Amino acid sequence: MSTSEDLEITVLKGFFSSRSAVFRDLAITGFWPLTLVTNNSTTQPAHYHDLDSHAYIMDGKVVIEDVRRRTKYDLEPGDKAIIPAYTVHLETEASSRVTYIISIPEARSLKEFLPALRKKE
């Protein structure tokens, strides 16, 4: 039986060439889409999500780092990153603007999914 520590980020370079191709992939996976636009000054700190997620890079360039493995992945438009639940990661070395379509297996708002945007209690 595998644990979250056995899983690592998978990057599929040049996975898609258009937004419609992303939506075809969403239809296959059954995942729900979220849109995230970041600026390099608002790059998120190291974090994890409690769901598997797929990140499609629509615009910009970014480096995603798997913190535990100390592995960095250079991502650009057309790339897809598959991030297993509970994998601690961070986005670094972002271009001035990065647009993602992030997909997850259940319907949630962006605030519910991204820990840095959750309201502190």
Q: Give the domains, in start order, of the chain with CATH numbers.
A: 10-107 (2.60.120.10)
Find out whether 10 and 81 touch, Cβ atoms under 8 Å.
Answer: yes
70: phi then psi, degrees, rounded to nearest 5: 55, 40
The reported pTM is 0.87
**pLDDT tens over the chain, length 121 residues:** 445 566 899 999 999 999 999 999 999 999 999 999 887 655 667 888 999 999 999 999 999 999 999 999 999 999 999 999 999 998 887 777 899 999 999 999 888 887 654 433 3
49, 7 Cβ separation under 8 angstroms: no
User: What's the confidence (pLDDT) of residue 6?
Assistant: 67
